[in-house]
Amino acid sequence: FTSEVTEEFRPTYHFTPESGWMNDPNGLIYLDGEYHLFYQHYPDSTVWGPMHWGHAVSSDLVNWEHLPIALFPDSLGYIFSGSAVLDTENTSGLGTAETPPIVAIFTYHNAEEANTKSQTFQSQAIAFSLDKGRTWQKYEGNPVLPNPGIRDFRDPKVSQITNENGTKSWIMTLAVLDQINFYSSPDLKSWTLLSEFGKTIGAHGGVWECPDLLPFKTPSGEGKWVLLVSINPGGPQNGSATQYFIGDFKNGQFTPDDTMIRWLDYGPDNYAGVTWSNLPSDHDRTLFIGWMSNWLYANEVPTKAWRSAMTLPRELSLFDVDGTLLLKSAPAKELEKLRDKEYKVTKKSSSLPSEAVELISEVNSDSFMVTFSNELNEKLVISKELGLVNIDRRNAGKSTFQRDFAAIHSAPMSWEATEIRIFLDASSVELFVNDGELVMTSILFPSSPWKTVEVSDQVNSLKIYNLKK
């Protein structure tokens, strides 16, 4: 039982918990130079259990410092997913004018009650911190939004919007069975239902979870709202995935522009992702991170000391393909800090400097193939052909822990691919085509690190960066 064995598959530059179980990112907030990342965490085991909020901070989205657990389960239940806001004007009264509180809004899941016929075991609650997220106090009036009698009632994402008359309101976007409810509040403590969305639109192969409501500008400068909704099961690759809607949010109501089903990431392993709140206006961007796994096999993947990593942080924006708006996920620019040595490759085949690399290629035709292999004859194949982008992990290492794991995953891409960026880490691949116009995230467990990359003739340049923290 050497540390080498227990650390096998530990990523170099992706966020993982020090030990134990992790799922969704929670409470993403930027404050005073720190990006906070809370996460669904069970410290006592590497399988899902009584949920806590784990905590880490970073000044650059690349180097993370682990902090003590922020929220522990209590008599009201486990601490499920949620968000965090800075209550600048102390509308909640939980801080002072000089020390505005960070308020975390989360779901209580009462596990005992969930085992009964009860339908009311999930409710929304708040906690606050007056010391930059280091210590937390739960609000004594919890829950702030009791359950109306619906068993899936969770994952509050709160943001502040400015109304047409100039006043501000807190808006909560909540997943309720397989639809979204919007609530508003003046003080984060009392919540009023505004509207419901989604009963008859979108993918409904599973329960809706972890929503996020985001304002964007279109390429032509028009204001649009995007609603992210994770769904499990019922994703395009089986199991978990995140769909999104584009439309308007007016008078407390979301109205989609069309009925098209859109997916944020076509790989199997990007789930429950949400965005950071409170980014200062001088770096006004929409920064996203997701949980890099899938409920199909999250509890079975062959890591030992911990389970699951987060995706790379990504910057979301809208782009246009032949008149259709879609969401683009570009790797956050901070990731360029990871670049260590650069290798310009002129041959069709090259060895890889380490298991943590970024590859950038220009492609000059609408089909290409990039193959990674190791000395054990395992292969990871990335390609585009006949309008489909594919990641083939059928023979990419360990896969017997779950029968659906070894598979080819494909994504439709009707427009031209001109550039591909691939991030490899010890147990993942993230593919960004045209800087994120199409994204696929996939975890994998090669029995030995990838040693060689081989590219097809259509790939006319290849740069490899060794990545280092």
Contacts with ligand FRU, residue ranges (CB under 6 A) = 23-24, 40, 51, 80-81, 107, 154-155, 209-210, 272
DSSP 374: -
CB of 12 to ligand FRU, least distance (A): 25
- Contact status, residue 15 vs residue 428, Cβ threshold 8 Å: no
C-alpha–C-alpha distance, residues 286 and 279, integer Å? 8
Give 23 or 92: the residue with its C-beta nearer to ligand FRU.
23
CB of 332 to ligand FRU, least distance (A): 22
Element (H, E) at 5: helix 3-6
Half-sphere exposure of 467 (CA within 13 A, CB side): 23
CB of 7 to ligand FRU, least distance (A): 25
SS3 label, residue 282? helix
Q: How far is CA 105 from CA 90, 183, 429, in A?
A: 15, 13, 32
- Contact status, residue 331 vs residue 423, Cβ threshold 8 Å: yes
CB of 298 to ligand FRU, least distance (A): 9
Residues 6+ apart with CB under 8 A from 97: 89, 90
Residues 6+ apart with CB under 8 A from 141: 189
Give 41 or 189: the residue with its C-beta nearer to ligand FRU.
41
Residues 6+ apart with CB under 8 A from 282: none
Give 74 or 320: the residue with its C-beta nearer to ligand FRU.
74
Q: Pull the structure tokens for residue 303.
A: 């890591």
Give 107 or 124: the residue with its C-beta nearer to ligand FRU.
107
Assess whether 187 carries a catalytic annotation: no
C-alpha–C-alpha distance, residues 292 and 308, integer Å? 7
With 0-12 / 13-18 / 19 or more C-beta atoms within 10 angstroms meaning exposed / middle / buried, residue 162 is exposed
CB of 306 to ligand FRU, least distance (A): 16
CB of 273 to ligand FRU, least distance (A): 10
In the numeric block, the tokens 């609530």 are attached to 183
Strand 368-373 and strand 452-455: the pairing is antiparallel
C-alpha–C-alpha distance, residues 54 and 22, integer Å? 8
CB of 398 to ligand FRU, least distance (A): 23
Give 155 or 334: the residue with its C-beta nearer to ligand FRU.
155
Residue 92 backbone dihedrals phi, psi, to 5 degrees: -80, -15
CB of 209 to ligand FRU, least distance (A): 4
Give 54 or 313: the residue with its C-beta nearer to ligand FRU.
54
Span between the terminal Cα atoms of the chain, in Å = 27
CB of 291 to ligand FRU, least distance (A): 7
Residues 6+ apart with CB under 8 A from 50: 42, 73, 78, 111
- Contact status, residue 186 vs residue 89, Cβ threshold 8 Å: no
| Extended beta strands in 314-433, E state | 314-321, 324-331, 339-345, 349-351, 357-363, 368-373, 379-385, 388-392, 408-412, 419-425, 428-433
Give 136 or 465: the residue with its C-beta nearer to ligand FRU.
136
C-alpha–C-alpha distance, residues 298 and 120, integer Å? 27
Single out the catalytic residue among 24, 155, 212, 435: 24
Give 21 or 368: the residue with its C-beta nearer to ligand FRU.
21
Give 79 or 325: the residue with its C-beta nearer to ligand FRU.
79
C-alpha–C-alpha distance, residues 216 and 235, integer Å? 25
Q: Active-site positions?
A: 24
